[in-house]
Each structure stands twice: as C-alpha cells, then as structure tokens.
Structure 1
Amino acid sequence: MIATDLRGAVERLGDMIAEASVIVPFTGAGISTESGIPDFRSPGGLWSRNQPIPFEAFVARQDARDEAWRRRFAMQSTFGAARPSRGHRALASLYRAGKIPAVVTQNIDNLHQASGFAEHDVVELHGNTTYARCIGCGKRHELEWVKACWERTHHAPCCTSCDEPVKTATISFGQAMPEQQMHRAGDLAQSCDLFLAIGSSLVVWPAAGFPVLAKKCGAKLVIINNEPTDQDHLADLVIRYDIGEILGPFVGN
C-alpha cells in the first residue's frame, strides 16, 4: 500500500506502531539530511564529486590515505554541526518507551547516539566516522590526535602501537562487513513484528537484505523514503513524504 496523503500516512503509521510489540528501525542517509549531512549516492551527493577510495587503495598507498583524511577533515564542520533530526528524535522516543530494542543503521554520523540511544543499541553496519581505528591492531584513536598529526606532517598518521595505517572507523568499499553487527542485525530483523526502513535506497547489499528477512519472518514492513525502492512491492506501507514530517508527530518529551 502506497500512502496517498501525509495525514493518512501518519495515522496509519501510528496505528501500526501502537499495534507492534517490537519495532526495529533500519536507517539510511535520508534520516540525516535534515541534520545537514548530505547523502552519498544521489545526484549532487558526495560521491558524484569524489569517487570513494577503496579499502585496498587505502592500505596500499600513502597518497590514498592522505586524500581520505583530507576529505574527512573537509567535512568536519558539517559532521560537527549536525544535530539529531526529527526522525532521530522520534525513534529515540520510541526507544525510551520500550518499543524499540535497538536501531540498525547504514549511517556513520553518530546521530542515533546523540538522540538518546545507548551506544550498544546502535548497530552500525558501516561504522562510525567520529573516531578512528588502526587497521592492524584495532586500537581506537581520536580525531583530534589524527588531525594534529596531519597538520604537523601533512600525511595520514600510523598507529602509535603497531605502526599500521589509521583510518576512520568506517567500512570502506572492499572492506569486510562487521561480523558481529551483521549477526545482531539479522537477529533483530527476525525477532520484530514491525520493521521500519527509513531513508534508505535499499540498494546496498547485504544490508538491504534485512527488510526482506524481517518480512519473511512475519514482520510488517514500512518503507519511508522520498524515492521508490526495489522493495516497495514487499511493504505493507510505503510512504514517500519528508521523513521529518512523517516521524515528527512521534517525538516525545
């Protein structure tokens, strides 16, 4: 069913939320655009201006590592100024109410944590850009340290423990998906009775398989996205309106 008017969409979604016992949100870039963070894939998105740097290139070449960190620091003011959107805050309200056990996200911006989700209840499939990790030993490094090294040497730094390259704690093209997070996301998809796919194009696999899994396991599926997706035909409700307007009424105190 495709919602044909905004008010009707909010009312139908409200009924489904009220009827559900366990809700699992699955969020993509669309929930963060209201926060001022541009998406990657759409026309005019970040990847239309700069092609992503594959993990293999990051590991092999100093110039690729330097460029990756140059891009990250160029985005620092955007990420630093971002605050949770109405969508983030609505999900956090449902989380506090006990309706949502955890959120599964493709985003790397830390805004679910900022909205009120406990860190261990944010399942980050593509990592987090607000800190860095050594690709060798896994040691965490704060961005302030990386930037200080960058400004001093004009090169991406290596780990202080094992001298391997340090990169943002995100999953790059060609890098293995995080096994623990993928396993937990699968468990959540199989255990919910309402799955909300919000602001995702649902084209990036294997992450895009979670709405399908939830539906196969008996959950109702709602897709909230401005553009059509390849999974709209599976959904019990498709909403193609602004995410903030749809989820804003569910923001609690």
Structure 2
Amino acid sequence: MDEASLEKAAGLLARSKTAIALTGAGISVASGVPDFRSPGGLWDRYDPMAVATTTALDRAPRQVWEFLLDAISVIGPAKPNPAHAALARLEAAGRLAGIVTQNIDGLHQAAGSKNVIEFHGGMERYFCMGCGRAHAPEAALSLTRADIPWRCEACGAVVRPDIVFFGEAIPLDALDKSGQLALAADLIIVAGTSGEVAPANLLPREVRARGGTVVEINLTESALTGLADVSIFAAAETALPALAERALS
C-alpha cells in the first residue's frame, strides 16, 4: 500500500465537509462473500438469466431457489470485516454522511453503519410474490433443497428475497436518496467496485463534476481510476481502516 497515496487521501477526507462512500463486492471478499462475477463465483456455475430474473421466478422457481440456497449459504454466515467497521467508525465520528452499496449482504448495517442505501436490495428481507407478506430471514437459513421453492404459508405463492433481479429497476427511493447524497458530497470514497455497473458508477462522476474529490480503493485499476484524485491499490479491509485512522487522528 502506497503510503503517500494513503496520506493524501486521509488529508482530503479530514478536510471534507460531506463525504460519502460507494462500495461494491470487493469490500466483502474478506468476509467470505466472493464477487459473483469473479472466477469461481456463482456466475461461473449459474446462468444469471436462468436464475436471477422475475421471468425465471415465474417459470422455474425451484431452479431459482437452488441458486438462492447457494447464495444464502455464502452470505448467511458472513460477518463484517475491518473495511465495514472502518466506514461505520467514520460515520459515527461525523466524517461520513452515508454509504451507497451495490452489495446485498447487509454487512454495512451489521457493522453499525446507519445511513446505508442498497442499490440492489438485501438478502436479509423476504416477501411473498402473491400477497406481499413479509417472511423472516431466519427461516431462509434453515431451508433445504426439500423445502424449495419457498412458498408462503398464507397463500401458497413463491417467496423471494428483496433484491433487484436482472431486468428489474433500481428502487426509486434508493435512486432519490443516493442522488441527494451525491448532490451534497464534496468527496466520495469508492471501495471494492470496478465502476462498470450503472447507475452506481455515475455517482463518482456526479461528485467530480461539481468540483468534488474522488478517492478510489481497489486492488487494481478500475473504470474509475482515471477519474480519481487519489487511487490506493490495496485490499479494502487493509486500506479503509488505515484511511480512517489517519483521517480521524
């Protein structure tokens, strides 16, 4: 990890009035949640169009739930790592206004972050596609292949997680709140995301377009590296705690 880049980023963060963060899959890898798109990830074993669309839920719910069981087996036991804890610490200290995340694992909230905007929903919430009834996430953890597809006890329709499947729109509330955060921000920390997925990748550009600062934390160069004022090429679980320590000292 380049010390000069870290010190520069910490100085920018310490001087900012309203900082926000944008996070992606890379921030949760140390928690045991691999990027679905990475080699060996879930998209190596499943066709997203066959298991992660509403059409698939309607036509082949068992197939979708086989995929969801695999996702739950990875996400369910995961715990926050030092990267999540560092962002929660920055928020608690008044140095971070909020987090926009592309992740569905709920680890920011588990680490103590309060203002978390989930672009793609979360696996900690489930609802019936028929009657809309909420279902306890704890029940999902105990499901076996004999129990799928999970059906609502009240109406018999299929139960699904409250995540954004391919082809579904980002929730309007998330878009509105993230837009408000970006409008107020003078600095954005981009951590663990390639910057290739819209509309999340537009947020750093919006902050920069208004004269704000972009701090990137990624293992390697990304689609946002050319936009960043400072790039720290290191694991999020290492770089974010170091950044928070320096910015708050």
The answer to whether the 8 A contact 1:26-1:195 is kept is: yes
The answer to whether the 8 A contact 1:6-1:246 is kept is: no
How far the C-alpha of 1:130 sits from its partner, in A, is 2.0
Matched, 1:107 2:100: no
- What is residue 58 of structure 1 aligned with on the other side? 56
- What is residue 116 of structure 2 aligned with on the other side? 122
Matched, 1:72 2:71: no
Candidates 196, 210, 214, aligned match of 2:207: 214
Distance 1:183 1:161 in 2: 33
Superposed, 1:175-186 pairs within 5 Å as 175-186=168-179
Candidates 11, 26, 32, aligned match of 2:7: 11
Q: 1:153 to 1:247 in 2, by over 3 A?
A: closer
Q: What CA RMSD, in Å, does the superposition of the two structures yield over aligned residues?
A: 2.2
- What is residue 180 of structure 2 aligned with on the other side? 187
- What is residue 171 of structure 1 aligned with on the other side? 164
Secondary structure class of the residue paired with 1:201: coil
The answer to whether the 8 A contact 1:125-1:178 is kept is: yes
Distance 1:217 1:159 in 2: 48
Matched, 1:39 2:35: yes
How far the C-alpha of 1:90 sits from its partner, in A, is 0.7
Q: 1:130 to 1:166 in 2, by over 3 A?
A: same
State the identity %: 35
Distance 1:142 1:91 in 2: 28
How far the C-alpha of 1:176 sits from its partner, in A, is 1.6
How far the C-alpha of 1:33 sits from its partner, in A, is 0.4
Q: 1:89 to 1:134 in 2, by over 3 A?
A: same
Matched, 1:243 2:228: no
- What amino acid maps onto 1:230 in structure 2? A
Deviation digits for residues 202-239 of structure 1 (CA, Å, limit 9, x no counterpart): 11112211111111122101111113222221111122
Q: 1:81 to 1:179 in 2, by over 3 A?
A: same
Distance 1:20 1:152 in 2: 50
Distance 1:152 1:72 in 2: 11
Q: Which moved more, 1:152-161 or 1:202-211?
A: 152-161
- Runs of 4+ with >6 A deviation: none
Candidates 213, 225, 233, aligned match of 2:218: 225
With structure 2 as the length reference, what TM-score do the two structures score? 0.88
Q: 1:28 to 1:161 in 2, by over 3 A?
A: same
- What is residue 23 of structure 1 aligned with on the other side? 19
How far the C-alpha of 1:9 sits from its partner, in A, is 2.3
How far the C-alpha of 1:92 sits from its partner, in A, is 0.5
Distance 1:134 1:145 in 2: 13
Count of equivalent residues: 243
Secondary structure class of the residue paired with 2:226: helix
How far the C-alpha of 1:151 sits from its partner, in A, is 4.8
Deviation digits for residues 82-114 of structure 1 (CA, Å, limit 9, x no counterpart): 111111111111000011121100001110011
Candidates 185, 196, 217, aligned match of 2:189: 196
Q: 1:152 to 1:9 in 2, by over 3 A?
A: closer
With structure 1 as the length reference, what TM-score do the two structures score? 0.87
Secondary structure class of the residue paired with 2:221: coil
